Structure 1
Amino acid sequence: MVEEILPAIPLDSWRPTKETLHRYAQIIGKVALAKGIRRNHWWHMTYRLTARGWTTVALGTATEGPVFTCEFDFFDHVLRISNDRGTREEIPLGGQSVASFYIEAMNGLRNLGVDVELAHPTPFDLPDHGRPFDEDEEHHHYDPVAAQRAFKVQSQVGRILEQFSATYSGKISPVQVFWHTFDLAVQRFSDRKIDMPDSVDPVTREAYSREVISAGFWFGDDKVPAPTFYSYTAPEPTGLAEQPLRPTTALWVPSGSGHSAYLPYDDVRAAADPVGTALGFFQSAYESGSRLAGWDAVGLACHNGITDPVLTSPRLGGPE
């Protein structure tokens, strides 16, 4: 039996696990926010995909050790906290409420010599945003099969986003899991600075301090109750929502103060060429946004990850 490139992941099939895992992700994401070396656009606090799950970047500083990472392993189904002294702690993902996971994770960090206090130990932008993590006994579902399937989807989409990233030579983010919104995305930036009023919150100000075109995927939520590929340009140039998208089932939808391009994940799964369909969608949204915003799309293009025009010759290879 041929394995599907993009497995099915209906939102309702794993919603309780997703809601619990989202809060686990926010807990450790807030640890990264507190202990990471700050990077532009908050890149220090996001997760990177591994072959087994998600990992933080290396956290801690040269003067405030230890250096440590936190990895969600969706095969062993543990949070693995490792430090540069060769010791580690493992916290099971199953059989936990958010409250017990939070307490065990904080204890595990302390056991490894990591002193951390979260500035806001509550969920961010979730329905229970006012409830402390250590009081959340409501969210306690973790289906290991569903969690591993969701990671498989993210892993495959992550490969597609990496392939899309290879065609751009300008400032670009890593392919990242954003724990606050629970999506997987990559952002292309121009060097144009964006002026925002003083009333804009500091999180948004840093995230959108430069003109950006984002491409990503999320599993769905109450507003969009199905897994979806998306793209948007910020600030949104005039006329963006009137531009064509590929494939024809993609559409522009109102999102915040502007629009996002949406393409249902199941439409991509059903395509004869799922990878090519997803890449075509991201490229069509980028072409529209970059053209209307006045980017030098030709100068920023990068063929198969190669910037030197001589090396793009089929007669020349890379390092051996």
Structure 2
Amino acid sequence: MGDSSVTGTVSADFGEVLPALPLDAWRPTKETLHRYIQIVGKVALAKGIRRNHWWHMTYRLTARGWTTVPLGTATDGPVFTCAFDFFDHVLRISTDRGIQEEIPLGNQSVAGFYAETMRGLRDLGVEVTLPFPTPYDLPDSGRPFAHDEEHHHYDPADGLRAFHVTSQVGRVLEEFSASYSGKISPVQLFWHTFDLAVQRFSDRKVDMDTSVNAVTRESYSREEISAGFWFGDDKVPEPTFYSYTAPEPEGLTELPLLPPEARWVPSGSAHAAYYSYDAARHSGDPVGAALDFLHSAYAAGSRLAGWDAPALACPGGITDPVLGTAWKGWPE
């Protein structure tokens, strides 16, 4: 029999479908961890093979945490991944040469984590220089990671619980994703805004003024409807499911959302649909309530944007119309 023990020293609320994670309860850990994942995200940006809409620099979910995609190229080795493990509470940098480095998440500042991560990469033969080794779109964006001794709090219980929330929400977003057959992103964790999201695209290009920055131009070069979750911040001080359509079609906020607690709210120069994570938790069917929200927001955006939603539908993850009505599993 295999060993089923938990290797970490803390446990999460594995019995809950959507575990509680009030923002204020883990804010110090969140602020430190956010900067940790930005450091590694910038490594992925520098060493990944570029993909449309920046998909090469985001994190994917694993059974133990969050990982980069394989980084490096066939001529610029080694190939490597950087994975946050929230049971062992380390950043594990592994290469295709069978060697790895582990950087502890606790008991060090952002400056210490940055120095250790850069050292670990060098020791593994990975040469990388970050053009902008500073936080992105955070209050201390002008301070280099190497100088940040302020953020140094990492509670292992908080880290594990945050991972468990993303693991469960990730399953919800995968189930939502399964119903769409068009161009769609992976379910991915974005390190700049610390949100878990999936984007559905149409094939229509979006014209933007040349003054629009490069990050935005690539992110929104095609018409899209995004669905996701974030932990909350000073503007939205609670964990929240969200969705938005970009560009926003006229009349979007006049269409209804499900469940009744969901609402349209101003977001920058447009609007987003919000549904409280805790409202989903306290409903009789947390997963069903979250899916109702995501599907209703997509239905509103796709209808007004003129998408052919029936043609793009993929019920149960099946595109073949015959299998869709007769599928009973693989033949013997």
TM-score over 0.5 for the alignment? Answer: yes
Q: Relative to 1, partners in 2 of residues 1:107 and 1:233: Cα closer, same or farther, differing over 3 Å? A: same
Residue matched to 2:235: 223
Q: Please say if 1:90 is aligned against 2:102.
A: yes
Deviations 1:229-248 (A, max 9, x none): 00000000000011100001
Q: Is the 8 A contact 2:14 2:164 kept in 1?
A: no
SS of 1:160 mapped into structure 2? helix
5 Å-filtered alignment, 1:59-78, equals: 59-78=71-90
Deviations 1:69-107 (A, max 9, x none): 000000000000000100000000000100000000000
Aligned equivalent of 1:42, options 54, 69, 76: 54
CA distance in 2, matches of 1:258, 1:8: 30
Q: Is the 8 A contact 2:60 2:188 kept in 1?
A: yes
Q: Is the 8 A contact 1:162 1:175 kept in 2?
A: yes
5 Å-filtered alignment, 1:228-267, equals: 228-267=240-279
Residue matched to 2:155: 143
5 Å-filtered alignment, 1:159-198, equals: 159-198=171-210
CA distance in 1, matches of 2:273, 2:187: 19
5+ residue gaps in structure 2?
1-12
Q: Please say if 1:301 is aligned against 2:293.
A: no
Paired amino acid for 1:289:
G
State the identity as a percent.
Answer: 76
5+ residue gaps in structure 1?
none
Q: Is the 8 A contact 2:196 2:229 kept in 1?
A: yes
Q: Please say if 1:103 is aligned against 2:119.
A: no
Paired amino acid for 2:66:
W
Alpha-carbon offset, residue 303 of structure 1: 1.1
Residue matched to 1:123: 135
Residue matched to 2:8: none
SS of 2:316 mapped into structure 1? coil
Paired amino acid for 1:65:
G
SS of 2:208 mapped into structure 1? coil
SS of 1:125 mapped into structure 2? coil
Paired amino acid for 2:177:
S
Paired amino acid for 1:76:
D
Alpha-carbon offset, residue 2 of structure 1: 8.7
SS of 2:93 mapped into structure 1? strand
Residue matched to 1:25: 37
Q: Relative to 1, partners in 2 of residues 1:129 and 1:315: Cα closer, same or farther, differing over 3 Å? A: closer
Paired amino acid for 2:158:
A
Alpha-carbon offset, residue 200 of structure 1: 0.3
Aligned equivalent of 2:288, options 267, 270, 276: 276
Alpha-carbon offset, residue 318 of structure 1: 3.5
Alpha-carbon offset, residue 314 of structure 1: 3.5
TM-score (norm 1): 0.99
Q: Is the 8 A contact 1:187 1:214 kept in 2?
A: yes
Paired amino acid for 2:311:
G
Deviations 1:180-202 (A, max 9, x none): 00000000000000000011000
Q: Relative to 1, partners in 2 of residues 1:189 and 1:319: Cα closer, same or farther, differing over 3 Å? A: farther
SS of 2:83 mapped into structure 1? strand
CA distance in 2, matches of 1:301, 1:95: 48
CA distance in 2, matches of 1:51, 1:37: 24
Alpha-carbon offset, residue 313 of structure 1: 2.3
CA distance in 2, matches of 1:228, 1:235: 22
Alpha-carbon offset, residue 283 of structure 1: 0.1
Paired amino acid for 2:274:
Y
Deviations 1:136-156 (A, max 9, x none): 000000000011001101100
Count matched residues: 320
TM-score (norm 2): 0.95
Q: Is the 8 A contact 1:311 1:317 kept in 2?
A: no
Alpha-carbon offset, residue 110 of structure 1: 0.3
**Runs (4+) off by over 6 Å:** none
Q: Is the 8 A contact 2:240 2:277 kept in 1?
A: yes
SS of 1:105 mapped into structure 2? helix
Deviations 1:46-74 (A, max 9, x none): 00000000000000000100000000000
Q: Is the 8 A contact 1:161 1:175 kept in 2?
A: yes
Alpha-carbon offset, residue 203 of structure 1: 0.2
CA distance in 2, matches of 1:129, 1:88: 30
Alpha-carbon offset, residue 319 of structure 1: 6.3
Paired amino acid for 2:135:
P
SS of 1:241 mapped into structure 2? helix
SS of 1:312 mapped into structure 2? helix
